[in-house]
Amino acid sequence: MEDKTGTEKVFKIEPIDKLSQSVKVVTNAEEIGQEPAVAKTKFDAAVAKADTHWEQLRLQGTQVATAEAPSKPSPIEEMSLAAQKVTQLQPASTTQIIGQSQDIKNHFNTSIQTINEQLKTNPDVKISPVYEASLSEKLVHVDSSLKSALGITGVEVKGSPAVAPTPEASKNPLAKFLGYLTNGDRQLSTIVTEVQSLDGPGGQKLTPAKLLAVQIKLSFVQQELEFFTNVLNKALESTKTIMNVQV
């Protein structure tokens, strides 16, 4: 470099240290973004794993919550079942009502026998409150429909409770169910007797409209009892499983 006088000056030259072997020289621009990319990949994998684990826990919780609940037909399925029942009601006759009553009586007897056997082998058996609520609801509907059918045949129905409370019923819901079923079986027998007497010689025959009304009520009773029987079996099976696990 020249100054104003034209004389060249040489500045001091500092020595250059050699590059350490441990220091990596980046010669490719693509290598600069490799480490952040690897870290991002690991982070995304960890997030995906956490999401999968959370979904598994959520599904397990849903399964446990619904395992104890009895399955109930959807509104569309109930409409389909009701339509099938209605198609079976044509035409209404005394013979059909008597045959239908026999099928209902078989449902009563099956449930009564199941509960009696259970109370003999395990008098202190307890069922889930979820099952108990659903079973009680079905038996109340059955009792109401049978009372309506009795009223159609001309039998005076009193407003007293269907089943008188007993100490056994307060301790064990199965005893309460047994009382409802036994009373329902008696009511059904009364309906059959009344229909037969009205259809006999000299009897005041039921009109086709009343026969159809009785048949509709009994069809509803039959449907509710079928549901009751299925749920009762599931409830008792669940109780046996819990007892085996505890043992």
Question: In angstroms, how far apart are the furthest CA atoms of the chain?
Answer: 152
pTM over 0.85: no
Q: What pLDDT does 181 receive?
A: 96
Contacts of 169 (CB under 8 A, 6+ apart): 163, 175, 176, 179
Determine what percent of the chain falls in helix, strand and coil, rounding each to the nearest 5. 70, 0, 30
Residue 209, both tokens:
């409209």
Answer yes or no: is 35 within a domain: no
Q: Which of 133, 141, 116 minimizes the C-alpha distance to 70?
A: 133
199 within 8 A of 205, measured Cβ to Cβ: yes
Strands (E), 164-213: none
In a domain, 82, yes or no: yes
Q: Within a domain: residue 15?
A: no
Task: Give me the domain span that covers residue 146.
Answer: 75-246
**N residues, the chain:** 247
The residue ranking higher by pLDDT, 220 or 41, is 220
Determine contact, residues 139/120, Cβ cutoff 8 Å.
Answer: no
Q: Is 2 inside a domain boundary?
A: no
pLDDT digits (tens, 9 = 90+) for 49-67: 766 766 665 665 545 444 5
Peptide bond connecting 75 to the previous residue in cis, omega within 30 degrees of 0? no
Q: Which amino acid is at 193?
A: T
The answer to whether position 184 is within a domain reads yes
Which tens digits make up the pLDDT trace of 101-154? 999 999 999 999 999 999 998 888 888 888 899 999 999 999 999 999 999 998
Residue 6 within any structural domain of the chain: no
User: Is residue 39 domain-resident?
Assistant: no
In the 8-state DSSP scheme, what is residue 241? Answer: H
User: Domain tally for the chain?
Assistant: 1
Residue 172 lies in a domain: yes
Q: Pull the structure tokens for residue 46.
A: 């960890």
